[in-house]
Chains A and B, each alone.
Chain A
Amino acid sequence: MTDATSSLPRRAAKKPSRLAMLTTRFAENRLAVFGLFLVVLAILAALFAPWIAPQNPFDLATLDIFDSMLPPGSTGSENGLHYLLGTDAQGRDVFSSILYGLRTSLIVAFSSVGFSMGIGLVAGLSAAYFGGALDAILMRIVDIQLSFPAILVALVLLAILGQGVDKVILALIIAQWPYFARTARSAALVERNREYILAVRCLNLSAPRIIARHLLPNCLPPLIVIALIDLASSIAIEATLSFLGVGVPVTKPSLGMLISNGFEFLMSGSYWISLFPGFALALVIMGINLAGDHLRDILNPRNS
């Protein structure tokens, strides 16, 4: 039986050459490459934050209240630390806070997108493959949810769940999975009616297996694009929720929380607390969007 399936035409077999082609086409757009560079830089900075950051901003014992609100380039009174980007009202090094905040932001973004993509895939593929009542119910739920702005859904959920990194992730998953489900379903529907799938179905293979080995690979390209765009919007939504005071707790600041903490000092001239984390946030999101936008263009069959 395995032989039978492998002899069927599989698009995945063409993958290496296609990947190489994609890479070449991606590299043609300098802005997209720059975006990718920013994303990689952010991931590396977040990964290695404990080694790069001069201070652990989450460890309250290392903070000195007498070093609070120092402008960029100051030196700590007791610990002799050099505060490259200044300190916040608690005496936290803003540069270290950005690195650690980036961590929180990226953890939230990657895990929420990962889970929503997983859930969306399963739901979307099953809906497409089985059709009928399952399809109708799932897609109705998706339709309903998509008629609501994600920010509103997340806001209401967090009002119910309370603050916390885990809760923000959960709220984002619930708010975002329908996008994946719908995309996966429509991509799978196109594939489902192709001849080779019809052929495989005749072979009495189990449903999960057909879905996993034949439908899934062909749905991935559009989903990856959505995932990238969603990554950016997850970071932005998390930052927004934290800014509104319903996201991550004030003691484990994400980039959004840092900006929010600095807001009250903006008017009195301490611009650095809000401004630098803001730049970091904007750069990361822009990087993802630049790369994602171009990737969508080259993956879109209509453009190629």
Chain B
Amino acid sequence: MPPLSQTFGSLLRAGAVAAVSTLALATAPQAADLTIGLKSEPTSLDPQFHVLASNTQVSMAIFEPLVAQNTELGIEPDLATSWTFEGTVWTFNLDPAVTFSDGTPFTADDVVFSIDRVAKVPNSPSPFTLFTRQIASVEAVDAHTVKITTKEPYPLLVNDLAYLPILSKAAASGPAPEGRTTTELNRGEGLIGTGPYKFQSWERGASLVLARNDAFHGAAPEWDHVVYKPMVNPASRAAALLAGDIDVMEAPPTTDLKDMEANPKVSVVAGPPARVLYVGLDQFRDATPGVKGTAHNPFLDIRVREAMSLAIDRKAIVARVMGGAAQAAGDLVPATMFGADPGHAEAPAADIARAKALLAEAGYAKGFDLVLGAPSGRYVNDARIAQTLAAMWSRIGIRTTVEASTPSVFFKNYYDMSYSAYLASWGNNSGEVGTTLKALVLTRDPAKGIGTANNSGYANPEVDKLVLEGASTMDPEAREALLAQADKIVLDDYTLLPLHFEQPLWALRAGLTYAARADQYTLPQDVHSVK
């Protein structure tokens, strides 16, 4: 805070004699401190408590995984310098030069301890077992070699490991089954990692402060301190950035982008997209609750689904609703991702006449009434996108009203499959189309974790076979071919209607750069000042 922060409080504390030096101190932040305006605060500092982006991005600054994802979700060595696999057995060679921030050396025991701890963390609202469920066993072969065995051939093990930060066994052990408890870790007790920064203090709701880890094995971290401040309201984040109170803001509002780009005091960076907004249509029952004016479920007819896709002017949504901060989508993942079908790289253009013709051909010349379910406040501009869709569909005779609900209500209806048509979103965090297809279009089998978000009820045995075969095919080329084939079938079927890919955005004060990431994490180690 510039001159204003010459505070009564600090004057009181320091006394009149020391006032001059207080003044100098109070002109924080110092050149070497980095202040980040967060869109949401971490719920916990325990890196294995809650699978949530706002938690993971903080633990990625304090801890490191065996392998890490780069800005475009590609896999890179981190604590493990190399690895090999044979069938279900993976061998990781650890970096022997790494020490934790408290100076103790990093060894294979820490890896075993960390992966072992995941399942023991109690009361987790969204457990990290998501990333360990394919792991059958973890063994320390020697001090710097770890052997991980999976339950079945599983090429995405490295992607899962990228989400598992490694704690220090010595620091994080304790009397509780999980060692240091979540409450203790929240206080910073036992919160010792190998990452570029280390914990300093956390006051919930106000600020989280990290300090440089001088023992870091990589290039020396640039910032003395990193201060995270939760600022939920986007407008206030923007105001704070313009006022110089923060250096980096997450998710600048799309409405402000033009002003920000014109402002020499700040810059906006966009990351590669990985999150798709799409429309799901009920394809599993003959009488669908949200449709009036026809006897049967119109979405069982592929011509209707195609007509609805053709009625959408994706470019208009990107330009007018998303403020340009999105890419029109023809696929469920960006074309650059592994396994995306090259035939659907381009977003389909709107064609009202053809859409109307298709509807008539399907026997719906007079259209029908439709209720579109959408969340309000979960994804960027969600309710506005839904209303725009409704206007576009109404133009081809599908008289659409929008039922926009708070996320808690929306997700209940969504998982209860009570919408005939819904606007939803999926963020891909593996960099390959397989995980998206597995969750969104494979025949629902929630017990196995397949089709967990397939709430349109699509079921196609051929797609199931291709994707599941791909999921356990270790050879990349063969896997890519299988996945691309499945992706093509899904898209040709108009199973889901992709709309656009959200572009992750950051705004920075002038003089800073950020290696913008597809996973939307804000990592202080990737913020640098321009030299």
In the complex they form, do A and B come into direct contact, defined as C-beta atoms under 8 angstroms apart? yes
Residues of A within 8 A of B (CB): 60-61, 63-66, 68, 89-91, 162-163, 245-246, 249-251, 263-270
Contact B256 A267 (CB under 8 A): yes
Chain-A contact segment, one of B233-241, B330-338, B447-455: B233-241
In the complex with contacts A65-B317, A267-B238, A268-B255, A90-B388 CB distance below 8 A: yes
Set of chain A residues within 8 Å of B207, measured between Cβ atoms: none
- Sampled A-B contacts (11; CB under 8 Å): A60-B394, A61-B394, A61-B395, A65-B316, A66-B320, A250-B383, A251-B387, A263-B235, A264-B255, A267-B239, A268-B256
In the complex with contacts A265-B255, A268-B259, A249-B404 CB distance below 8 A: yes
Given A250-B383, A264-B255: 13 more A-B contacts, CB < 8 Å: A61-B390, A63-B387, A64-B391, A65-B317, A65-B320, A65-B388, A90-B387, A249-B376, A251-B387, A251-B403, A251-B404, A264-B253, A268-B258
Give Cα distance in the complex from A65 to B383, angstroms: 14
Which one of A63, A245, A263, A269 lies within 8 Å of B376 (CB-CB)?
A245
B234 near A264 with CB under 8 A, answer yes
| Contact of B235 with A250 in the complex, beta carbons under 8 Å | no
- Inside 8 A of B439's CB, which chain A residues have their CB? none
Which chain B residues lie closer than 8 Å to A250 at the CB level? 376, 383, 402, 404
When chains A and B are docked, how far (Å) is the Cα of A163 from the Cα of B258? 34
- Name which of A163, A251, A266 has the most chain B CB atoms within 10 A of its CB: A251
Q: Within 8 Å of chain A (Cβ to Cβ): is B20?
A: no
**B394-411 vs A, Cβ < 8 Å mask (1 yes, 0 no):** 110001111111100100
Contact B255 A251 (CB under 8 A): no
Q: Which of A65, A66, A162 has the most CB of B within 10 A?
A: A65
Pick from B384, B394, B404, B405: contact of A89, CB below 8 A. B384
Compute how far the CA of A163 lies from the CA of B407 in the bound complex, rounded to whole angstroms: 12
Enumerate chain A residues within 8 angstroms of B402, measured Cβ to Cβ: 60, 250-251
In angstroms, Cα B320 to Cα A66, docked, is 7
Contact A60 B390 (CB under 8 A): yes
A245: chain B residues within 8 A (beta carbon): 376-377, 406
Closest Cβ of chain B: how far from A110's Cβ, in Å?
A: 25
The answer to whether A246 touches B406, judged by C-beta atoms less than 8 angstroms apart, is yes
Q: Are A249 and B405 in contact (CB under 8 A)?
A: yes
- Residue B156 CB within 8 A of the other chain: no
List residues of B whose CB falls within 8 A of some A CB: 234-235, 238-239, 253, 255-256, 258-259, 313, 316-317, 320-321, 376-377, 383-384, 387-388, 390-391, 394-395, 399-406, 409
In the assembled complex, the Cα of A165 lies from the Cα of B256 at a distance in Å of 32
B321 contact set on A, CB distance < 8 A: 65, 68, 89
Q: Which residues of B contact A246 (CB under 8 A)?
A: 406
For residue B39, give the distance in angstroms from its CB to the closest CB of chain A. Answer: 14
- Output the least CB separation between A74 and chain B (Å): 15
Which A residue sits closest to B400, measured CB to CB? A60
Name which of A63, A266, A267 has the most chain B CB atoms within 10 A of its CB.
Answer: A267
Measured CB to CB, the closest approach of chain A to B162, in angstroms, equals: 34
CB distance from A249 to the nearest CB of B (A): 6
Are B320 and A68 in contact, CB atoms less than 8 angstroms apart?
A: yes
| Distance of A268 Cα from B256 Cα, bound (Å) | 6
In the complex, the chain A residue whose C-beta lies closest to that of B242 is: A267
| Least CB separation from A263: chain B residue | B235
A191 → B minimal CB distance (Å): 47
Task: Give the tally of cross-chain contacts (CB within 8 A).
Answer: 75
Cα-based distance from A266 to B238 in the complex (angstroms): 12
**Whose C-beta in chain A lies nearest to the C-beta of B409?**
A162
Nearest residue (CB) in A for B321 is A65
Flag if B404 contacts A61 (CB, 8 Å): no
> How near does chain A come to B156, taking the closest CB pair, in angstroms?
37
In whole angstroms, what is the CA distance A195 to B259 when docked? 75
A68 to B399, CA, bound (A): 21
Closest chain B residue, CB of each to CB of A92: B387
A105 → B minimal CB distance (Å):
19
Given the interface pairs A66-B316, A245-B377, A267-B235, the reply to whether A163 lies near B405 with Cβ below 8 Å is yes
With A245-B377, A249-B405 known to touch, is A60 a contact of B387 (CB < 8 Å)?
A: yes
A162 vs B404: C-alpha distance when bound (angstroms): 12
A162: which B residues are within 8 A, CB to CB?
A: 405, 409
**Quick check: B388 and A61 within 8 Å, CB to CB?**
no
CA distance A245 to B376 in the complex (A): 9
CA–CA, A266 to B235, complex, Å?
9
Residue of B with least CB distance to A88:
B384
Decide if A264 touches B235 in the complex (CB within 8 Å).
yes
What is the minimal beta-carbon distance from A55 to any residue of chain B, in angstroms?
12
Cα separation A63 to B389 with both chains bound (whole Å): 11
B292 to chain A minimum Cβ distance, whole angstroms, is 16
Q: Which residues of A contact B383 (CB under 8 A)?
A: 250-251
Find chain A residues with CB under 8 A from B409 CB.
162-163
Q: Is B316 touching A61 in the complex (CB atoms < 8 A)?
A: no
Cα distance, A246 to B234, chains bound together (Å):
20
Q: Which residue of B lies closest to A265 (CB)?
A: B255
What's the minimum C-beta distance from B369 to chain A, rounded to whole angstroms?
Answer: 12
Q: Which residues of B contact A251 (CB under 8 A)?
A: 383, 387, 401-404
| Bound: A63/B253 CA distance, A | 23
A116–B96 Cα gap in the complex (Å)? 74
CA distance A236 to B272 in the complex (A): 44
How distant is the Cα of A49 from the Cα of B376 in the complex, in angstroms? Answer: 27
Q: How far is the CA of A264 from the CA of B401 in the complex (A)?
A: 23
Query: What is the CB-to-nearest-CB distance from B473 to chain A, in angstroms, rounded to a whole number?
Result: 43
- Are B255 and A249 in contact, CB atoms less than 8 angstroms apart? no
Alpha-carbon distance between A68 and B384 when the two chains are bound, in angstroms: 11
CB distance from A31 to the nearest CB of B (A): 36
B383 CB → nearest A CB, Å = 5
- Tell me the bound Cα distance from A89 to B253 in angstroms: 13
Q: Do A163 and B406 touch across chains, with their CB atoms under 8 A apart?
A: yes
Minimum distance in angstroms from B379 CB to a CB of chain A: 14
Interface centre among B239, B320, B402 (most CB of A within 10 A): B320
Q: Would you call B391 and A60 a contact (CB within 8 A)?
A: yes
Partner of B401, one of A60, A63, A263: A60
Residues of B within 8 A of A65 (CB): 313, 316-317, 320-321, 388, 391
* Whole-angstrom CA separation of A60 from B401 in the bound complex: 7
CA–CA, A65 and B238, complex, Å: 26
- Which residues on B sit within 8 Å (CB–CB) of A61? 390-391, 394-395, 399
Most chain A CB neighbours (cut-off 10 Å) among B258, B390, B395: B390
| Chain A proximity of B97: nearest CB distance (Å) | 49
For residue B522, give the distance in angstroms from its CB to the closest CB of chain A: 21
Chain B neighbourhood of A269, CB < 8 A: 259
Q: How far is the CB of B312 from chain A (nearest CB, A)?
A: 11
Contacts of A89 in B (CB 8 A): 255, 321, 384
- Residues on A with C-beta less than 8 A from B238 are 267
Least CB separation from B397: chain A residue? A61
Q: Say whether B391 contacts A63, CB under 8 Å.
A: yes
Chain B neighbourhood of A66, CB < 8 A: 316, 320
Closest to B316 in A: A65
Q: Residue among B395, B399, B406 with the most chain A CB within 10 A?
A: B406
Point out the residues of chain B lying under 8 angstroms from A91, CB to CB. Answer: 391
CA distance A193 to B256 in the complex (A): 67
In the complex formed, the residue of B with least CB distance to A90 is B387
| Bound CA–CA A263/B253 (angstroms) | 12
Give the distance in Å from the alpha carbon of A123 to the alpha carbon of B208 in the complex.
54
Question: A79 CB to closest chain B CB, in angstroms?
Answer: 12
Least Cβ distance of B283 to chain A in Å?
24
Q: How far is the CA of A245 from the CA of B394 in the complex (A)?
A: 26
A64 neighbours in B (Cβ, 8 Å): 391
